[in-house]
Structure 1
Amino acid sequence: MNTLISIIGPTASGKTSLALELAEKFGCPILSCDSRQFYREMPIGTAAPSLEEQRRARHYFVGHIGVEEPYSIGAYEKDALEKIQELFKMHSTLVLVGGSMMYEKAVIQGLHPLPAANAQNQEKLLALWQKEGLGALQNLLHSLDPIYSSKVDLQNPRRLLRAIDLIWQTGQSYTSLLKQTRPQRDFRVVRIGMQLERQLLYERIEQRVDQMIAQGLLGEVEALLPYRELQALNTVGYRELFPYLLGETTLKHAVEEIKKNTRRFAKRQLTWYRGEEDIHWVTPPQTFFNAQKILENLRIG
C-alpha cells in the first residue's frame, strides 16, 4: 500500500529538516500542510523552505497562492488529495509536513460533513464581536467547549465563529463533532512527531524570530501593510509588526510580542497533539535515525 509520512510537531521543532532527510531517503517530493506557507508573499515570517531546501526535494503547496486569493481548508483538502493521487503513480512513499493541525487532519482523515453556516447565528456572533470585541467570542467558545477552546487559535475570529455556530446548530460540542466518522483514505498514514524539551523549544523559537528579523522580516511585513486586514495576515510575526510600522509601538516591543505569541502557538500545538493516539514521537539529536527505525519496524522503505 502507498504510504504518506506526516511530519508534525510544534513550530521551530525541526520538522523541515526531518522531512528533507526522509524525502531524500525515499527520493520523493514533500507536500506542505502549513496554511501560511501557501502564500507567496510571506516566505520569511512563515519559515517557508528556502530555495536551497526546495532544490533538495520538490515541494508542493509552498508559495502557490497570493494573500488576496481566497483559499479554504476544503479547497486545500481537494487539491492536496488530487496531488497525492497523482504523485503516488510515481512514488510509493510521500512526505507531508506542517504545523497547521486541521490542515493535516483534512489530508489524512478528511473533513467532516458538517452543516453550512447559519446566517442568523453568524449575524448574532458578528454583532457580539463588533460590540464587545474578540474576547467575547473567546469567552463564549470557552463556556461552550473548553477543550476545543484550549486548542484553537483564539486570535482567528473565523475559527471561533464557525465553532460556536456549529455548537448552536447541533447542540453538540465542537470537540465531539470533530470525532465523528470521516471518509477512509486509500493510503497508509504514518505520523512522526517532533518532541523537544519545553525550554529547548522556546530557545529555538526565540532564535528563529531573531533570524527572521535578520533575514528581512520587517521589509516583508512592510510590503504587506496595505493588506493587513486580510485573514492571511492575521498571523504571528505579521500582526505584531503592523502596529510598529504604523508608529503605535517600538520595534523591541513588537519583536518580544512575536516571541511570546509564537510560544503560545507552540503550546496550543502541543495541547492538540497530546490528544492524538497514533503519533510516533522522535527526539533530537538522533531524530532521523529514530525515524528510520520506526519506518523499518513498520516495514516501510
Structure 2
Amino acid sequence: MKDNKYLIVIAGPTAVGKTDLCINLAKKFNTEIISSDSRQFFKETILGTAKPSDLQLSEVPHHFINSLSIHDNYDVKSFEEDALNLMQEIFQKHNIIIMTGGSGLYIDAICKGFDDMPQVGSEIRQKIIKEYELKGLVFLQEEVKLLDPEYFALVDQNNPQRLMRALEVCRGTGKPFSSFRNKKKVDRPFNIIKIGLEREREELYRRIDLRMDLMIQEGLFEEAVSLFPHKHLNALQTVGYSEIFGFLDGNYDKEEAIRLLKRNSRRYAKRQLTWFKRDTEMTWFHPDQLEKVLEFISIQMA
C-alpha cells in the first residue's frame, strides 16, 4: 500500500490559518480531513476551541471533530488506534489523506508511534492529585520544570493532567518523562509529507487577539458559564476556558480574564511552534502559499 498512499500533515500554531488551507487541499485531492487537535474532539466545546464553522465542516468530510463528550475518557493512545483504523478505511477510497492540528503529541503518535510509558504505582498519582488540589497549578508547573525542563518547554503548561502525568513518571522512575518519548519510530504503511504553517510573530499574535475578541463577541463567556459545573474535567483544562473559570471563581475581574485569554493563547502558540520546529522533517510555508504547497507536494510524490 505504501507506494501510492500519502498522509499530508498540515501543522502549525493556533490561529495561523490551517483550516482554510486544508479545506482547499482536500478539495484539490478529493479527499478527507482528519483532525489531530485534541481540543476539538469534544462536542460541548465550540467557541473555546476555535473549531471550523458548520459551513467549513460541510465543505469536505472531517473526522475527530465533535466526536466525543467531555465526559469520555480519551487519550493519545486511543487516538492513535482509532485514527490508524480510520485511515485504513479512507485509503481504500483515496490515495491521499489530510491530517491537521496543533496538538504535536497527537501528530507524533500517528507519524512516529506512541511510546509505551512505564507503569507507575497508583499511590504516586494519588499523592500528586492531592498535592495539586492543595497547592494548585503553579506547584505542578514548578515541579515539572525542575524535574524535566525539556518537556516543560513543550507541554501545555496550563493543562494539569499533562503535568501530573509527566510528574508521576518522573517520580516513579527517577528519570525525565521526556526520556521515554519517541524513542522508537514505527514504520507506517503509508508515506508522510509534513508541512508547517507560520506567520510573522506580530501578525500571528494580532490574529490571535482579534480571534479572541470575536469569540468573546460570539458568546465565549456564556459557553464557559454553561461548562463551569464540569470545570474539573480533563477536557476543560485548557486555554480558552481555564481563564474564564478563574473569573467565575471570583479570582479576578472580566477585564483580567480577557487579558489572560489573549496572553495565554499567544503563549500556547509559542509552545506549539517550539514543538513543531524541532521536527526536521517539517517544511514551512505561509498559509497563503497554496500554490507553493501544492508544488511541494507534487515534487514529494513524484
Counterpart selection for 1:156 from 151, 155, 159? 159
SS across alignment from 1:186: coil
Residue 71 of structure 2 corresponds to 68
Q: Give the distance between the partners of 1:18 and 1:179, measured in 2 at CA.
A: 28
Does residue 108 of structure 1 match 2:108? Answer: no
Moved more, 135-144 or 147-156: 135-144
Does residue 134 of structure 1 match 2:166? Answer: no
Does residue 44 of structure 1 match 2:72? Answer: no
SS across alignment from 1:115: coil
Counterpart selection for 1:184 from 173, 187, 191? 187
Counterpart selection for 1:172 from 171, 175, 182? 175
Does residue 250 of structure 1 match 2:253? Answer: yes
Q: Give the distance between the partners of 2:221 and 2:136, measured in 1 at CA.
A: 28
Are the structure 2 counterparts of residues 224 and 105 from structure 1 closer, same or farther at C-alpha, using a change threshold of 3 Å?
same
Are the structure 2 counterparts of residues 251 and 137 from structure 1 closer, same or farther at C-alpha, using a change threshold of 3 Å?
closer
**Counterpart mapping for 1:283-298 below 5 A:** 283-285=286-288, 287-298=289-300
Does structure 2 retain, via aligned residues, the 8 Å contact 1:280–1:294? no
Q: Give the distance between the partners of 1:264 and 1:72, measured in 2 at CA.
A: 23
Does residue 207 of structure 1 match 2:210? Answer: yes
Q: Give the distance between the partners of 2:252 and 2:172, measured in 1 at CA.
A: 41
Does structure 1 retain, via aligned residues, the 8 Å contact 2:112–2:184? no
Moved more, 173-182 or 103-112: 173-182
TM-score, length basis structure 2? 0.93
What is the root-mean-square deviation in Å for CA atoms of aligned residues? 1.7
Q: Give the distance between the partners of 1:64 and 1:240, measured in 2 at CA.
A: 25
Does structure 1 retain, via aligned residues, the 8 Å contact 2:19–2:52? yes
Does residue 55 of structure 1 match 2:58? Answer: yes
Number of residue pairs aligned between Structure 1 and Structure 2: 299
- Shift of the alpha carbon at 1:165? 2.4
Structure 1: unaligned runs, 5 residues or longer: none
Deviations 1:227-258 (A, max 9, x none): 11111111211111223345553322211110
Moved more, 177-186 or 166-175: 166-175
Does structure 1 retain, via aligned residues, the 8 Å contact 2:160–2:237? no
Q: Give the distance between the partners of 1:131 and 1:229, measured in 2 at CA.
A: 14
Identity %: 37
Moved more, 200-209 or 287-296: 287-296
Structure 2: unaligned runs, 5 residues or longer: none
Are the structure 2 counterparts of residues 184 and 88 from structure 1 closer, same or farther at C-alpha, using a change threshold of 3 Å?
same
TM-score, length basis structure 1? 0.93
Does structure 2 retain, via aligned residues, the 8 Å contact 1:117–1:162? no
